[in-house]
Amino acid sequence: MKAKLMNQVLLAMSQTLGSQQIERLKDVLEVTFKNVEFIEKTESSNETDLEMVSTFLSAKRVEGCSDKSMRYYESTLKNALNKIGKGVKNISTDDLRKYLDNYQKVSGASKVTVDNIRRILSSFFSWLEEEFYIIKSPVRRIHKVKTGKVVKETYSDEALELMRDSCENPRDLALIDILASTGMRVGELVKLNRSDIDFQNRECIVTGKGNKQRIVYFDARTKIHLQNYLRGRTDSDNALFVTLLAPHKRLQISGVEIRLRQIGRALNMTKVHPHKFRRTLATMAIDKGMPIEQVQHLLGHQSLDTTLQYAMVNQSNVKMSHHKFIG
């Protein structure tokens, strides 16, 4: 315990003192603590760690993280600290590597999930370093988990038209159109109110992740179908989309997902999901030459890398370019 504390002091001062000064400090510490015994208080370490986690979560909340993200951060950190079984200040790089490796083996989690856990741990320990709780983050030397690139599907023009034609009511038609033309998140969609829609300029203000607002735009077809849907409404709810059955309450995320799956099953289409409309819009926009920075703003992405992951290269265009430039 004594040697460990002395090493921590020497490590902390190594950035400030020269090699000769470090050696002198080492001699002073050895003489000073020669007849001193240290007893580690383990019973309160867990409580202190939980307090650190709580303070970190408060910092993330101030930054604008959503409640869903906060719950994920909290459960991930508490599970990791519990499994590792050490105080935060004593956790090493090897401890974290073993934890991530064991987590993947036991749970069978994908590499994407493991990398998400790594990123949360990195955020936590980097914050501890910035706040001077620890000297150096042990996650620094744990690199991003390499994940295989999966080409995710988008909707074809034919698939979008089939879904529109199969709609049995004005609400579902307006729902598909606004998702397809704006690329907004389903969580943003269900928060929309009638008053958020500017029909004259064919735009609306959505509230995205971290309560950040942005303007998204819709096409003329969406405008017409949305107006038809709203004119036929008999309820007084301010929500843009409501349930079909009385008492016509605000439509929730699960309601949108269930309805789209039902439409997909009726058409024998697989993986009909609201997020797929978003990916389709991003791919189409880039395919038609929209600058990637504008697509990023349109989708409300903080990082350009996220936008690039959404945008899939149209394979037919690759084939045409091959014939054009290579033969």
Active site residue 261: no
Contact 307, 295 (CB under 8 A): yes
| Choice among 185, 225, 259, 276 that is catalytic | 185
Active site residue 301: yes
User: What single letter denotes the amino acid at residue 254?
Assistant: S
In a 3-state reduction of DSSP, which class is residue 239? strand
Residue 214 CA to residue 234 CA, distance in Å, equals 30
The runs of H, that is alpha helices, within the chain are 2-13, 19-32, 45-62, 67-84, 93-107, 111-130, 157-166, 170-182, 186-189, 220-231, 253-266, 274-287, 292-299, 304-310, 315-325
| Choice among 118, 225, 259, 278 that is catalytic | 278
Active site residue 24: no
Active site residue 322: no
Paired tokens of 245: 């059955």
| Choice among 118, 276, 279, 301 that is catalytic | 301
Active site residue 225: no
| Choice among 61, 89, 275, 297 that is catalytic | 275
Angle in degrees, 0-180, between the axes of helices 67-84 and 111-130, rounded to the nearest 10? 90
Active site residue 297: no
Contact 29, 6 (CB under 8 A): yes
132, burial (CB in 10 Å: exposed 0-12, middle 13-18, buried 19+): exposed
Q: Quick one: DSSP state of residue 210?
A: G
Cis peptide bond N-terminal to 170, omega within 30: no
| Choice among 209, 214, 261, 273 that is catalytic | 209
Instruction: Cite the active site residues.
Output: 185, 209, 275, 278, 301, 310
